[in-house]
Structure 1
Amino acid sequence: MFASHSYLVAGLRLKLLLPAGFDVSRGLPNFRDFASDADAPASGRDPALLLQWVEDLTLPSGAETLFSEESDMGRTTYFSCGGESWFSLDFIGCKALMRVSEDYRKAVFTVDTSAPTAGVVISSLSRALFAQIVLLHDGISVHSSCVVRDRKAYMFLGRSGTGKSTHSRLWIEAFPGTELLNDDNPAVRILPDGPRVFGTPWSGKTDCWRNLSAPLCGIVRLRQAPFDSFEPLDGIQAFSEVYPGCSVLRSDAFLHERLCDNLEMLCSLVKVGRMACLPDLEAARICAAGIATF
């Protein structure tokens, strides 16, 4: 038997169909704040993404390996076969396999739900799918840390180890009332009233799973340096600095085109900058002033 679990992330409805015995409160605590009543009879709304557990799933012998990557969530390998995408994930010995429909709106997966890390694996699979589906809704999943100051959101990007989380903490210390929205994978959507950043259930190693949102005021790519310096960007420079932090299955030409279209629009609406910085309070002040003055 299955149990249906519905969530609302960045205004998009996600439905997980999991074995009835799987304890989502323990296995998926990061989804708790995003629980939705979308399954109520009166809702009448189809989910943007449906992810269903199945007891058995086998990768076709003719599947083509696209690429493989390591992250804090394990090793993920991407395959293609007959117009469908396949994902395999191995996290601390817990292995999963997922088959995704051509439009990325539906997926089935198999994993040992009794494994201690099964919840982490299910969360990772849903994160990978959400990053694709949000592109179809004028959005982008961005690998970044994000704070909210005076009801406006600021996103900090950079290579792993650059100090995105540190810079967010510096803003929180430098500007009273500033709060962390998400520390790894916030989502941006371009809505009729402008770009807006949403917290998501995926925040890396930081337990910051907040179902909140705020208008996006600035995006800054960080790099470590022995000094603090802010540089405003526009046009292709702005696009090029934000692009590496955007999540997309780049082998899919349609999705990649949607990413580029969404990102071009985003960079035309939001201030983008480049910040060379030390891990000090002055860096936060210079960054904030730099965004405010252009």
Structure 2
Amino acid sequence: MDNKHIFCIAELLLKVEFAPNGQNDISLLPSFEPFRVKEDNDGCLVYGNGEKCNAYINALFTLLVDDNIKPIDKTERTRIDVFDTGNGLTAVDALADGGYQFLMKDIEGHSCCMLQTNNDFTKAVCALNGTYGMRRFGLNNALMMLYAFRGSFFKTLLIHASTVRNNGYGYAFTAKSGTGKSTHTALWMQHIEGCDLMNDDNPVVRVVDGKAMIYGSPWSGKTPCYRNIKAPLAAITKIERAHENRVERVKPTIAFTIILPACSSMKWDKTVYSNTYDTVISLITVLPSVNILYCRPDEEAARVCYEAIGIKKPAT
């Protein structure tokens, strides 16, 4: 079995290599299959369906998965924080050489993954632990963090949002967990003609050639929606529960406070956080609208929202 794999996510490449120890292989990444590319006979990168991959050959990062990797000695690292991802706790240590070590646990407190990176996240190694489910959880989270942190160097954001597509445009909905992002996108698909789900938890947003673009990703929460698709981003809308349905278009200063907290980033890493900060500002300047939707979880909410923020002409 091939131990080296290349993936193209939001037109950016990443490489994963599995050490041949019999424990870990590509089966741990089923949600990545639509994004996997290989070189054809002409040396071009193509997807499994033969479609050409429009991305640079240089990868965002390379990750080696090897369970024989040992923790960095305590004298060579300093604990920064332990944070709750919503799916478990992750401890972060700063390394003496400027890199990081992450220790990830799942929702039940089981240690699943140890990830070590260099200072700019271009190279990383990780060791997995436990059952197949634990290993899959750990590896997916390691790749998601690497993508978010390294992607910040390329005007790329991994955001916590549910995203629907209509007339070729993408619409991202953010909210606190449990507020109803997925419920609202489901209402669009049920009641607004021509809608489909792009991603239900962690789409990728990029500023490309002065335009806001949104992409599907291998990370979609509890909803198995792993689509290698893209669309111009028409709006980012924050959902807040209310007794009436109405949309408020917000000013750039408020837009910033809506988008930045929805992005995966690291406040303790000045470079990554500064990159994310700058990309959010760039995004706001090119995004057609940022809004707050005050709503009930009903059909009228979807129709009111679509009438307020929807672009009726097909994307070109």
**TM-score, length of structure 1 as denominator length:** 0.93
Tell me if structure 2 keeps the 8 A contact 1:157–1:221. Answer: yes
How far the C-alpha of 1:143 sits from its partner, in A, is 0.5
How far the C-alpha of 1:53 sits from its partner, in A, is 1.6
Equivalent position of 1:28 in the other structure: 29
Tell me if structure 2 keeps the 8 A contact 1:60–1:81. Answer: no
Deviations 1:194-239 (A, max 9, x none): 1110101000111000011110000001111121121001221111
Deviations 1:142-196 (A, max 9, x none): 1000010110000000111110011110111111220110011100111116111
Equivalent position of 2:136 in the other structure: 119
60-69 or 79-88, which moves further after superposition?
60-69
1:12-23 aligned at under 5 Å gives the runs: 12-20=12-20, 21=22, 22-23=24-25
Distance in 2 between the 1:211 and 1:140 partners? 16
How far the C-alpha of 1:12 sits from its partner, in A, is 0.9
How far the C-alpha of 1:38 sits from its partner, in A, is 5.2
Q: Does 1:272 align with 2:284?
A: no
How far the C-alpha of 1:286 sits from its partner, in A, is 1.2
270-279 or 33-42, which moves further after superposition?
33-42
Equivalent position of 1:4 in the other structure: 4
User: Pick from 289, 292, 300: which aligns with 1:282?
Assistant: 300
Equivalent position of 2:59 in the other structure: 47
1:157-172 aligned at under 5 Å gives the runs: 157-172=174-189
CA distance 1:40–1:251, change in 2 (3 Å): farther
Consecutive unaligned residues of structure 2, counting only runs of 5 or more, are: 45-55, 312-316
1:128-143 aligned at under 5 Å gives the runs: 128-143=145-160
Deviations 1:112-159 (A, max 9, x none): 376442122101110011011111111111100001011000000011
CA distance 1:39–1:125, change in 2 (3 Å): farther
Aligned residues, how many?
Answer: 292
Tell me if structure 2 keeps the 8 A contact 1:223–1:277. Answer: yes
Tell me if structure 1 keeps the 8 A contact 2:112–2:130. Answer: no
Q: Percent identity?
A: 28
Tell me if structure 2 keeps the 8 A contact 1:113–1:119. Answer: no
Distance in 2 between the 1:23 and 1:39 partners? 22
User: Pick from 77, 81, 88: which aligns with 2:91?
Assistant: 77
Consecutive unaligned residues of structure 1, counting only runs of 5 or more, are: none
How far the C-alpha of 1:257 sits from its partner, in A, is 1.0
Deviations 1:232-278 (A, max 9, x none): 01221111111110110111111111111110111111110011111
Deviations 1:61-106 (A, max 9, x none): 1322222222353221111121111111112524321111101111
Distance in 1 between the 2:246 and 2:86 partners? 30
1:36 alignment partner, SS class: strand
Q: Which amino acid aligns with 1:60?
A: D
